[in-house]
Amino acid sequence: MGLRISVLGDIHGNVAALEAALLDIAEHRPDRLFVTGDLVLHGPRPSETVRRLMELDKAGAYIVAGNTDIAVTDGDYAAAFPWLDDIPAGHIAAAEWARDQLADDELDWLRRLPVERRLWADDSLVLLVHASPGSQTAGLSTDLDPATTVQRVTRSDARVLCVGHTHVADVRELGRKLIVNPGACGYAMDGDPAAGWALVTLDAGEEPTAELHRTTYDAQRVADEVSARGLVGDVYRAATIRTGRFVR
């Protein structure tokens, strides 16, 4: 009997996008839900987002932490953004604001999330991670040097890699590996502001497959809420949410 896994991530405190995607996902009746991390930073509703994810966790969802979750929970900005020599003031302001919005139990839950989860489906191993095997920050962008991509994906024996981090939806085969990036649920950067998610299907004796989905929600309303918050960089965050393109 086959296994169907819905995958979403990079929610970034956008609970409206999360709820819209979950309603759409429910209609497809998946067997499992995977969440690739980056759950609260930048968006206007970190607490509501975490509370909803805690419910999903109790119901059996597989959830991992992303790099920005480190920034929010512990303020370890070098670990969260190792490619930046100087951490922008806007990153720090947004992380501190999100941390202040979270209750102690919400912070504890977020802090305790694993960085990787694995699931066997018959003879296929499925890996859930934020960026790539063994890393929350070394992503698998489509324009990455091929040799570097091979180096990163071969850090795991998994047949299917479910990742996020790039905020760009992508499904591709690399040798025997299927790389599935659903794009961002709440902070898209691939030109479509709709909430991204993916559906992975694994049937015994068949090659695994994945479909990309987008679910519309009121991105303008969420963008307006971010703008009204008034943190450093919120005008750019709001524009990113509204357009689905990275604005800075």
Q: Which CATH number does the domain housing residue 25 bear?
A: 3.60.21.10
Give which of 93, 31, 47 is closest to 11, Cα–Cα: 47
Q: Which residue has the tokens 């109790």?
A: 58
| pLDDT on residue 205 | 83
Q: Exposed (0-12), middle (13-18) or buried (19+): which is 19, by Cβ within 10 Å?
A: middle
| pLDDT on residue 18 | 98
The whole-model pTM stands at 0.97
Host domain of residue 238: 3-243
| pLDDT on residue 141 | 96
67 in a structural domain:
yes
| pLDDT on residue 78 | 97
33 in a structural domain:
yes
According to DSSP, the residues that pair with 35 across neighbouring strands are 8, 63
Ranges assigned E (strand) in 109-188 = 116-121, 124-129, 160-162, 169-174, 177-182
16 in a structural domain:
yes
Number of domain units in the chain: 1
248 in a structural domain:
no
70 in a structural domain:
yes
Please report, in angstroms and rounded to a whole number, the separation of the first and last CA atoms in the chain: 47
220 in a structural domain:
yes
Full pLDDT tens readout for the chain, 248 residues: 589 999 999 999 999 999 999 999 999 999 999 999 999 999 999 999 999 999 999 999 999 999 999 999 999 999 999 999 999 999 999 999 999 999 999 999 999 999 999 999 989 999 999 999 999 999 999 999 999 999 999 999 999 999 999 999 999 999 999 999 999 999 999 999 999 999 999 998 899 999 999 999 999 999 999 999 999 999 999 999 999 999 98
| pLDDT on residue 228 | 97
Task: Give Cβ neighbours of residue 110 (< 8 Å, ≥ 6 apart).
Answer: 39, 40, 50, 65, 69, 72, 73, 102
